[in-house]
Amino acid sequence: MKVVGVAFDGEHRFSKPQRAVIRLIEGLGVEGDAHLGKTVQHLSRIRRDPRVPNLRQVHLIHAELHDEMRREGFEVGPGDLGENITTRGIDLLALPRDARLHIGAEAVVEVKGLRNPCYQIDDFRKGLLKVCIDKDETGNLIRKAGIMGVVLRGGEVAPGDAIRVELPDGPHIALLAI
């Protein structure tokens, strides 16, 4: 389980440029990123209520989703879908709420929920949204566009860094879209 890409952007744009390293800041998010803050920073959510806690400080996507997109004819790489950290070898979508991801030497991100795929994915590449959603055998929607979390402990994160998963005590709660 490792990091394969890191990205941030100081502007509210869909894609984020790849970086050699990012710095996570405890309780805030990714240094220099437009979504850094204790309260919600996503523009649509600010309009609803700017006082809501920011549970979307860090966006993570599994590189296996990029692989699936390539098989469907879409060229997509780290940061293209707005993620800050691209991982490989970990089933992010299966993690329970409040799982902790120990990333690199110091950083810890607590998982809070699923990213809700939106129309911006199709604005980026027409037809790509279909790859980001699926249905299970009973017809329930599966959101595959990654997960969101908060920074519990800051630190630098770079491609090649190891990721260790710490599951929460007690019953595990499945991730919901946030």
Q: What is the pTM of this model?
A: 0.95
pLDDT at 46: 76
Report the side by side order of strands in the sheet with 155-157. 29-30, 22-25, 155-157
| pLDDT tens, position by position, 1-31 | 999 999 999 999 999 999 999 999 999 999 9
For 170, counting Cβ atoms within 10 Å of its Cβ (0-12 exposed, 13-18 middle, 19+ buried), the class is exposed
Q: Are 147 and 176 in contact (CB under 8 A)?
A: no
Question: Is 43 a residue whose pLDDT tops 80?
Answer: no
CA angle 41, 64, 81 (to 5 degrees): 30
Mean pLDDT of 73-99: 97
Residue 47: pLDDT band by 50, 70, 90 thresholds? confident
Tell me the two tokens of residue 84. Answer: 């800050």
Spell out the domains of the chain, with CATH numbers in brackets: 2-166 (2.40.33.20)
